[in-house]
Structure 1
Amino acid sequence: MSGYFLYHSIGMFEGKEAAMRAELDQFSQVWSAPDDAQWGYALGQKQAFMDAWATLIGADSKDVALSENVTGGLYSILGSLPAHVLKGRTVLVAADCFPSLHFLLQKLALRLGFTLRTVPLSAGLSYVTDDDFIKAWDDSVGVALVTWVSSTSSHRVDVDRMAQCATEHGSLMALDLTQAAGLVPFTVHEGVAFTLSASLKWACGVSGASLLHVRADLIEQCEPEFRGWFSQENPFNWNLDQFSYAQGARRFDHGTPAVLGSIASLPGMRFVLASGVENLLEQNRALTAVLLDRAAKANWPVLTPLAENERGGSIMLRASSAQRAQALVDLLREQELYCDQRDGVLRLSPGNVCTEQDVLRLCDTLQTAW
């Protein structure tokens, strides 16, 4: 039993500490040995993590690369595209995207010559509806950045609709899976050009190892400007006049690879794959149903769509103010119930370490102070 409701921030599973310690202890032993086995082991573990991501999303491993975070992955993608994709065109994004990505796009618009079009939150809602996003999508859009599940409302977009829109308008669609990967089943979509995700939330990993999937037919067109010796088919080609990109998504590598994030995230990915995403989602749906039922009875303002096919794994409640929301977070923490808030929005994400009793205890505590 656990009062942990922060899967939108960091994912947990029973035995996580021991599993991570074992993986990192093994790394420490190999990396500290006075022999030449370090890089073979480290790169093998990194590849194992990429293979696990490929399994999770039904992709081919050769189309998968890693970045330090989703922001870095998006930077690599935009810096790899032929100039005509972006120059003089529009990049479309919703106002409820993760702010870090918007900050990046604002700056890159100046250098890459595109117009950033941000679709505002839909009237009376805390998210951008699919209809409103699609209304803003026209033939000027070179790239559309779509957030699968919002971090502030848990609204989930219809990927099929978005992909169809991308095809109709001749746009490239980038999809950020971060707030649902490892919980909601997903298979790479032929209408999605680029798929990105962090690994530290429902996938139960750590920061520093994020997914970057590129649709196979686009890889040869992509020439990342953020490149280095590991972008090559043969990283040990050190002839300064004979650089050539690797054939697969590994061209999105650059300098000496960071491996610790991948190694530390392997236990979480193994847990998710062994448990089965469908089973994890079923448990989450049972717990969020209890939470939504109590919210309805108490008249707590729910910002998350009620339909299961329109939301991720979190339930967001609107407090009267940011100060009130923080007071509720602090009260819950005193009872060893852990959640957070953003601008007055209480974010509650029950996962596999939670039980119905944990949800009821959280609701009872909220009821005393709402």
Structure 2
Amino acid sequence: MNGALLPEATRDRFHLPPDAIYLKSHSVGCQPRTAEALLRDKLLVPWRETGEAWPHWLDAIDEWRAALAGLIGVEARDLCPAANVSAGLSRYISALGQATERRTILLAPSAFPTIGYLASGLAAAGWKTRYLPDAADVRDPANWAAALDDDVALVIAMHVSSNSGALTDMAAIAAAAKAAGARCIADCAQSVGVVPVTPASWGVDAVLGTSVKWLCGGPGAGWLWVAPHDRTALLPVERGWWSHENPFEMDIRDFRYAPDARRWWGGTPDVAPFILSTTGIEEIAAIGVDAVRAHNRALQALLRDALEARTPQWRWPAGAIGGTLCIDTGTDQPRVAALLAENQLRADFRGTILRLSFHAYNSVADVEAVVAVLS
């Protein structure tokens, strides 16, 4: 087990909050120490020295696309920057209306709420939202297959659930969707950076992600990956001048889609979030996602071994989980929350469910501190 742990020096790659133990990477990942310098060199210095710095800024976004493509094993041209998961999903769905006559979106009730809000908001455009049964295990592809029919256009599945930590078999869900004639999109906001994300091997049609959590890149740098088979097949209705083949052509009567995923880009892009995101991606890539995952699992196991037998009244997760250990503390929740706050252990709750996330910068000492407080 100890062989899976990362060197203690890994912590030095990140700014950690002083006088606290940070266990909320499922919410916001800690800032890489390289972030400030890269933001200065890639955004502020070119702006200061050239005024109109777009060539430099666009190079920085290309570097971001290349870094993320390398991390998840895809082609950079199939990645499109997005402000957040909601924006990426909205633009993706805007292309489906012309590509299929089906009008049902299938998701789980445990999906992150923004997914449901967006999907249900499309009712005026003729879209319907269907949910798996509340008690259905999202990890079982049979539950997804049972909910599919000839009106389902899109299946949206979380790779890792933010409520339970459940880790789904994306390849199996994508296969079920394909067999039913539907597309499948993977929401990897809670997995990328701590669990291997491999769109090409999954067979999904698209992937949504964000940099703010396990990628340690801050907010504002979401992304949409679209599979090569849909690279030019889908025509998003939501578009802007940066969706154009040549944004600087400036002929208002002649729109031509970009020949790659940039067709989903929209209007004038933000640059700073993607420079910051690059620092996080580069740090995670340097450490290695597999190494982060092994470290995370080792720390989860240490905590579980120390506490599970002492807390029989709690419900510990069963089955495959991602980077977040979600423990239902039941009626103990107020006491547990108070103990964590009193001892500067930064975790959070979804109702009675305690969420603890161990990243590359967490250590055995962090686990021991949690055990000492909660036991």
- TM-score (normalizing by structure 2): 0.89
Measure the CA separation in 1 of the matches of 2:291 and 2:372: 27
SS at match of 2:194: coil
Q: Percent identity?
A: 31
- The yes-or-no answer on 1:204 pairing with 2:220 is no
Q: 2:76 aligned to 55, 61, 83, which one?
A: 61
Q: Structure 2: any 5+ residue segments left out of the alignment?
A: 1-10, 12-19
Report the equivalent of 1:156: 167
SS at match of 1:135: helix
Q: 2:227 aligned to 215, 221, 233, which one?
A: 215
Report the equivalent of 2:120: 106
Measure the CA separation in 1 of the matches of 2:39 and 2:103: 46
Report the equivalent of 2:3: none
Measure the CA separation in 2 of the matches of 1:287 and 1:66: 33
- The yes-or-no answer on 1:261 pairing with 2:273 is yes
Q: 2:329 aligned to 319, 325, 338, which one?
A: 319
The amino acid across from 1:341 in the alignment is F
- The yes-or-no answer on 1:32 pairing with 2:44 is no
Indicate if the aligned counterparts of 2:108 and 2:157 stay in contact, CA closer than 8 A: yes
After TM superposition, the structure 1 = structure 2 runs for residues 120-269 of structure 1, keeping only pairs within 5 Å, are: 120-122=133-135, 129-189=140-200, 191-269=203-281
SS at match of 1:160: helix
The amino acid across from 2:291 in the alignment is N
- The yes-or-no answer on 1:295 pairing with 2:339 is no
Measure the CA separation in 2 of the matches of 1:149 and 1:49: 24
SS at match of 1:150: coil
- Give a deviation string over 1:159-208, Cα, whole Å, max 9, x none: 12112102211110011111110111122236211111111111111111
Indicate if the aligned counterparts of 1:152 and 1:342 stay in contact, CA closer than 8 A: yes
Shift in alpha-carbon separation, 1:245–1:84, aligned structure 2, 3 A: closer
Measure the CA separation in 1 of the matches of 2:145 and 2:355: 27
- Give a deviation string over 1:86-111, Cα, whole Å, max 9, x none: x5532100011000110000011331
Q: 1:145: Cα distance to partner?
A: 0.5
Q: Provide the alpha-carbon RMSD of the alignment.
A: 1.9
Q: 1:129: Cα distance to partner?
A: 4.2
Measure the CA separation in 2 of the matches of 1:46 and 1:283: 30
The amino acid across from 1:49 in the alignment is W
- The yes-or-no answer on 1:8 pairing with 2:8 is no
Q: Structure 1: any 5+ residue segments left out of the alignment?
A: none
SS at match of 1:81: helix
Shift in alpha-carbon separation, 1:150–1:34, aligned structure 2, 3 A: same
Q: 2:354 aligned to 330, 343, 346, which one?
A: 346
Q: 1:35: Cα distance to partner?
A: 4.2
Measure the CA separation in 1 of the matches of 2:165 and 2:194: 13
